[in-house]
Structure 1
């Protein structure tokens, strides 16, 4: 029996859901740029954080619904470049690098270009699932975006006003860009296994984390960034400066 032509021109909504989530994340990244240009920096930073959460969600939804596709993968990469390369760079520039003029913008370009190359390498290595399941090669783009925003978090948390040292902010942004395109083996959540004795501690840590989200979110993000840097430190030390080999 021939299939109804009308049915061939229709897609189940659940097949489109991951792409709709990806587009939502892209809209958050674009809106973050708008708020950064309006100097509403807290809102801009929060939108990038939300886009990072959505980035993890769309892939999970696609796998659970068996709705992965080449189109969705490419759409996700383009959205990631906007949300984790362009938006954080613009935010940091508007917040702390405006007074440096061309010099600060050069480091923003380095950061954005590094994000682009990191995503391109991820696409090329997408088929090597066994390797990427154990670790990432280089700092992933979402983590790179959150690390790049560390100067903003420090200022908003009241720890240190990084606008007083724009040169240091620019160097930090460039350093994070280099970490993204490095050959360092970095933390992958897929490889984490929690001992049974640590389950209760992890649950209570989650409670504390949720409390900080609603009371001292910028301080929490500072602590998360610093913890990630501490995790990276052994790999950086072992590399002895050979980050790209």
Structure 2
């Protein structure tokens, strides 16, 4: 009698472990994109701290890391079919922190005009995330997404050695493009095999 009992206990233990592994994998699948969004948020907050300490080069690199994390976030969510309302809110909050607040601090606002430009940039990002994130047409955005504007500003800072005037002019242009009503290709298009083939053929 004790032999079948041991067998049943072993079987139950094996099944419970298998079920536990399955639940763990499912949890990871559902929250992988959220984890990347949190990493993006941490990068944005770290960039803010660097800018407040006038370590603008470090701030720029953190913004570029945030840009890559934002791309990965969307791609992972689509590949794992793990899109959720919580994930969307977390992504928007991370984007506002990294590509709005942290990026605006690169403009080094020191006066009324500089401060107004930084506020205008943050408000443009806010408007994009709230009202212009969906174009209503498949595979398109309305206006330039804020991660692309942020990465361009960070790259401009690094390539020009922190030329503030050029950076502010670029910020004005990016504000206009972010609130533009024109259509721009969605990340899904850029991730598609057809687009990669076209880039390969053209390059």
Using the size of structure 2 for normalisation, the TM-score is 0.76
Spell out structure 1 runs of 4+ moving beyond 4 A. 194-198
Deviations 1:19-74 (A, max 9, x none): 11100110000000111111211111000001011001111111222211011011
Instruction: Decide whether the 8 Å contact of 1:32 with 1:48 is kept in 2.
Output: yes
Match of 2:15 in 1: none
Structural mapping, 1:1-245, within 5 Å? 12-93=27-108, 97-98=109-110, 101-123=111-133, 125=134, 128=136, 131-133=137-139, 135-149=140-154, 151-156=156-161, 162-163=163-164, 166=165, 169-191=167-189, 193-194=194-195, 199=200, 202=203
Query: Could you tell me how far apart the structure 2 residues matched to 1:195 and 1:91 are?
Result: 33
For the pair shown, which has the larger CA radius of gyration, 1 or 2?
2
Deviations 1:214-241 (A, max 9, x none): xxxxxxxxxxxxxxxxxxxxxxxxxxxx
> Could you say what secondary structure the match of 1:149 adopts?
helix
Match of 2:10 in 1: none
Q: Note the aligned Cα RMSD (angstroms).
A: 2.7
Give the count of matched residue pairs. 178
Using the size of structure 1 for normalisation, the TM-score is 0.64
Deviations 1:144-172 (A, max 9, x none): 1123335413422xxxx623xx4x54343
Is the alpha carbon distance of 1:195 and 1:59 closer, same or farther for their aligned partners in structure 2, counting shifts above 3 Å?
Answer: closer
Deviations 1:149-207 (A, max 9, x none): 35413422xxxx623xx4x54343233112101102224343353485863775xxxxx
What runs of 5+ residues in structure 1 fail to find an aligned partner?
1-6, 203-245
Query: Could you tell me how far apart the structure 2 residues matched to 1:154 and 1:190 are?
Result: 29
Query: Could you tell me how far apart the structure 1 residues matched to 2:158 and 2:121 are?
Result: 18
